Structure 1
Amino acid sequence: MSKYSKEFKLAVINHYLSTRDGFRSTATLYEVNPAFIKKWVYAFKIHGQSSLIQGHKTYTDIFKHSVLQYMAEHQLSINQTAAHFNIASPATLGRWQKLYNEGGLAA
C-alpha cells in the first residue's frame, strides 16, 4: 500500500501544473518530499492517471537490460527513465544499474 493515495497525488500534481509554484514550494505546501512530486509529475505527463496506480511488479532481466540501454542511448536521468517506463521507484533503476555494472544482471 502506498503511503500517499491516488487522490492525494493527483491533487499535488494538479496544484504543481496549475500554478507557478515549483517542486519545493509545492512540497512545502503539501508536506511531501520534492523528489516525490518530481517523480509523480514526470510519470503523470507521460502516462496520465494510470501512473498513480502502483502495484508490485516483477521485471525480467531482458526488460531491465533494455531499460538501462534505453536510458544510456537517450542520455536520460534515472527519474526520467523511471517515468518513461512507469517504474514506481527510480531507486529500482539504480539497483539494476549497480547489478549490471557488477556483472550480476544478465545481458
Structure 2
Amino acid sequence: MKRYDVRFKLQVAKEACKTSISVKAVARGHGLDFSTVRRWAATYRLHGWRGFYRKARSYDLPFKLDVLEKMRQEGMSARQATTYFQIGSAGAVAQWQRLYADGGAQALAPRPLPPQKPMKKTRSSKPAEDMSRDELLKEVAYLRAETAYLKKLDALIQQEQAAQRAKRTPSKD
C-alpha cells in the first residue's frame, strides 16, 4: 500500500469536497482509487485537516466496545467506523467484529504478556575475594567490553527509532 503525503491527501480531499467535480473524477485526475479519495473526503468532512494527522495507538476494551456499539446502532460499515473514530485500518475493526461474534467482550480484551525470563547472571562463578589478580583483570576487561557493546547497541536502536519517527512525522507546512 502506497503512503501519501498529508498535504497531498488534504489537497485531494478539499478538491473532492469543495468543488463540483465528482469524487470519481477527482480520483481519476490524480490516478487514485475511488475508495481512497472517498475515504479522504469523508475524513476531511468529519474532522477537517486534523483528521489526517493520526497517531499510532492501541485501543482499549471500552473503546472497541464503543465502536462496535455505534456500528450496530447506526448501521455503520467497518470503513465508516474507521473514518468516524479515526482508526488506522478498517481491517482492525472487521477483526474486532469477528472476535466479538466468536467470543464476546472477553475476546477483545488484550492478551497478557508472556512472563519475562530472568536476566542471566554474570559469567563469574567465583566470588571476587577468591579470584586472583589476573582473573579479576580478565573479568574487568570482559565486563568493560560487554558494557561498550551494549552501549553501541542501544545507540543504534535509538538512532533507528529516531529515523522511523522522522519518517512518520508529517511536515508542518
TM-score bracket, shorter-length normalisation? 0.7 to 0.9
Asked whether the 8 Å contact 2:17–2:45 carries over to 1, the reply is no
Q: Which runs of 5+ in 2 are unaligned?
A: 110-173
The aligned amino acid for 1:30 is H
Does the residue aligned with 2:21 lie in a helix, a strand or coil? coil
The aligned amino acid for 2:83 is A
1:69 aligns with 2:72: no
TM-score, structure 1 normalization: 0.86
Q: How far did residue 30 of structure 1 move? A: 1.0
Q: Which runs of 5+ in 1 are unaligned?
A: none
Deviations along 1:29-57, whole A, 9 cap, x unmatched? 11122111111111111111111112211
TM-score, structure 2 normalization: 0.56
Q: Report sequence identity in percent.
A: 27
Alpha-carbon separation, structure 2, partners of 1:21 and 1:92: 32
Number of matched residues? 105
1:25-36 correspondence to structure 2 within 5 Å: 25-36=25-36
Deviations along 1:55-82, whole A, 9 cap, x unmatched? 2110012211110011101112222222
What is the aligned-residue RMSD (CA, Å)? 1.6
Alpha-carbon separation, structure 2, partners of 1:14 and 1:48: 9
The aligned amino acid for 1:97 is Q
Worse-matched range after superposition: 40-49 or 79-88: 79-88
Say which structure, 1 or 2, has more relative contact order (CA 8 Å, 6+ apart): 1
Does the residue aligned with 1:91 lie in a helix, a strand or coil? helix
Aligned to 2:10: 10
